[in-house]
Amino acid sequence: MTPNTDLNLPLFERAKGVIPGGVNSPVRAFNAVGGIPRFVKRAQGPYFWDTNDQQFVDYIGSWGPMILGHGHPEVIETVQAAVLGGFSFGAPTEREVTLAEKIRELVPSMEMVRLVSSGTEAGMSALRLARGYTGRNKIIKFNGCYHGHADSLLVKAGSGLATFGSSSSAGVPADVVKDTIVLEYNDVAQLEEAFSKMGNEVACVILEPIAGNMNFVRASVEFTRRIRELTQEHGALMIYDEVMTGFRVALGCAQSIYAQKIEGFAPDLTVLGKVIGGGMPMAAFGGRKEIMQKLSPLGPVYQAGTLSGNPIATACGLKTLELISQPGFHSELHLKTGHLMQGLKAEADDAGIPFSIDWQGGLFGFYLLADLPTTYHEVMKTDGALFNKFYHGMLERGHYFAPALYEAGFVSAAHTEADIDCTVEAAREVFKTL
Ligand code: KE4
């Protein structure tokens, strides 16, 4: 493809004339990897075709929602039927009750559920609820975790514990983030120090159980256990942001994996998104009944939304959850993702490229680093130029990974072993060019 035949180019220029950066979400602009984003014309199964009709094996899948692959026939059929019944009512429907019940069935810690339209909205609302329930203002989040773009969560790490986070975005007043403390992921000592200093002022600790926003970093069992213990001791809430991991790493979400390692483990609140909408705008937050009952119209914590529980989105989400609840779905997905990761690792080793991998269910991460990172700083030691060369080598050959070294990857049920082999073969060629 030469620049003057790449139809993505004029389309990107046109987009930039009317949409800031030409995109409706920054990561799509390819700023981290350079080059021109591929505009998707259509998608089917594990593939999408761009404006040039070039086919790509899709390892983003809308950053998580498309766990069944694009255009699953039963999902299409369900959505088509739902559309005929009406798009949106602003009134309760049975289907949103059924979806909330299904979520509770699969995630027992979510005794009550509130449906919203995006992960940001769910995370923002869970935070407000934690502050309303505890009557406290301070929140603890971790470097490398992303919980959507609510003001008090757009915070970069302060230097050391004493200084609270400073906002990572213009337009967020210092007052709004003065109660947000940013600690190092997997750093138990720092967490304990924070609680010994201000434990009784902390409303909640929020974390990604597997941090997909720094590619793929697992919270250690010890770190998870200490968060659970310290929040309980100090009357703070533990919020699990499973927007990315939810129903992707396991049918019971990441919390079901940690509950196998920590006796009786469960977070107080959980944030969900992506998979539960199956590609339609749908997210949720939920948890212990006594906490959730603080929410309007029952309690004093206000939260609302015109399209919350949207009838088309609930139909799409319900069918998606039904299909991924089939026996063996996640174990099969875990195996397939493993084949991809082990295949890439084998090729990198052959080419003498430092490469580390990890995966769980349909979520994966690879690093051009010899050892798997456990903190954000370690992730960012990756040689960006090397990653970008790898990225574009794969993209040119029709294999579409996340356009940033700190983002995770996604495999769907629609990817076949042949697709995986094709991707590994392409990587063999690309590693040789590095
Ligand atoms: P949304 O508001 O984008 O639906 O969800 C925010 C969010 C919350 N929590 C976690 C753990 C998330 O990963 C996300 C969104 N993830 C990004 C991927 N890094 C979505 C891609 C994008 O921002 O365009």
Nearest CA to ligand 1 atom 24: 25
- Tens of pLDDT, residue by residue over 397-428, are 999 999 999 999 999 999 999 999 999 999 99
Residue 315 CB less than 6 A away from ligand 1: no
Among 368, 339, 340, residue whose Cα is nearest residue 355: 368
Average pLDDT of the residues in 70-77? 98
Distance CA 388, CA 137 (A): 41
Please state, in angstroms and as integers, the Cα–Cα distance from residue 121 to each residue in 117, 282, 350, following that order.
7, 10, 45
Closest CA relative to residue 412, chosen from 344, 340, 364, 362: 362
346 CA → ligand 1 middle, Å = 31
- State which amino acid sits at residue 393: G
Nearest CA to ligand 1 atom 6: 148
Cα diameter, the chain: 63
When comparing pLDDT for 174 and 342, which is higher? 342
Does pLDDT of 329 surpass 80?
A: yes
**What's the average model confidence in pLDDT over 99-121?**
98
**Rounded alpha-carbon distances, angstroms, from residue 398 to 7, 9, 84, 95, 299:** 16, 17, 37, 39, 52
Average pLDDT over residues 119-145: 97
Query: 432 CA to middle of ligand 1, Å?
Result: 33
Mutate which of 24, 169, 207, 213 for ligand 1? The one with the most ligand atoms within 8 Å of its CB, which is 213
Query: For residue 306, what are its two tokens?
Result: 């015109």
Q: Read off the pLDDT band of 395 (50, 70, 90).
A: very high
% of residues, the chain, pLDDT over 90: 95
Tell me the CA distances in angstroms from 77 to 30, 261, 280, 319, one per residue in order: 34, 40, 14, 10
Q: Ligand 1 atom 20: the closest Cα is on which residue?
A: 63
Decide if pLDDT at 357 tops 70. Answer: yes
For the chain, the straight-line distance linking the first and the last C-alpha, in angstroms and rounded, comes to 21
Q: Which residues contact 332 (CB under 8 A, 6 or more apart)?
A: 413
Which pLDDT value is given to residue 150? 96
What pLDDT sits at residue 3? 59
**pLDDT of res. 50:** 98
Select from 128, 97, 127 the least CA-distant residue to 113. Answer: 97
The answer, yes or no, to whether any atom of ligand 1 lies below 6 A from the CB of 120, is: yes
pLDDT, tens digit, for every residue of 194-224?
999 999 999 999 999 999 999 999 999 999 9
Q: Determine if ligand 1 sits within 6 Å of the CB of residue 146.
A: yes
β-strand partners of 45: 70
Is the CB of 317 within 6 Å of ligand 1?
no
| Residue 166, pLDDT score | 79
**What is the per-residue pLDDT for 160?**
56
Instruction: Categorize the per-residue pLDDT at 167 as very low, low, confident or very high, splitting at 50, 70 and 90.
Output: confident
Verify whether ligand 1 is closer than 6 Å to residue 152 (CB atom).
no
> For ligand 1, atom 21, which residue shows the shortest CA distance?
63
Report whether pLDDT(371) > 90. Answer: yes
The pLDDT of residue 156 is above 90:
no
Angle between helices 417-433 and 329-351 (to 10 degrees): 20
Instruction: Show which residues are catalytic.
Output: 146, 241, 274
Mean pLDDT of the chain: 96
CA distances for 248 relative to 101, 271, 283, 305, 360, angstroms? 19, 14, 14, 26, 8
Ligand 1 pocket check for 213: Cβ under 6 Å: yes
